[in-house]
């Protein structure tokens, strides 16, 4: 792993970071995975357990159209 490079202001405070592209893409992938997990957990909490068959849904949808 290549060490990140920092951009500093005139006082020496770090204000930005430069990462290799592959590391940046890996971070983005991991963030997307975490978001997917969060959304799954949220949906699971809201699940009331009611289910219908796809064929029943399609019949109702066709009937309502």
Q: Give the pLDDT confidence of 18-57 residue by residue, as tens digits.
A: 999 999 999 999 999 999 999 999 999 988 888 999 999 9
Structural domain count of the chain: 1
Which H/E stretch holds residue 6?
Answer: strand 5-8
Residue 8 β-bridge partners: 14
Q: Two tokens at 7?
A: 């951009």
Of the pLDDT bands very low, low, confident and very high (cuts 50, 70, 90), residue 64 is confident
| Alpha carbons 51 and 44: distance in angstroms, whole number | 14
| Alpha carbons 63 and 15: distance in angstroms, whole number | 59
For residue 21, what are the domain limits? 5-64
């Amino acid at each position: 792993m290549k060490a990140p490079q920092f951009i500093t202001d005139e006082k020496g405070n770090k204000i930005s970071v430069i990462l290799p592209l592959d590391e940046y893409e890996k971070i983005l992938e991991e963030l997307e995975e975490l978001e997917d997990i969060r959304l799954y957990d949220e949906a699971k909490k809201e699940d009331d357990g009611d289910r219908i068959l796809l064929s029943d849904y399609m019949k109702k949808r066709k009937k309502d159209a």
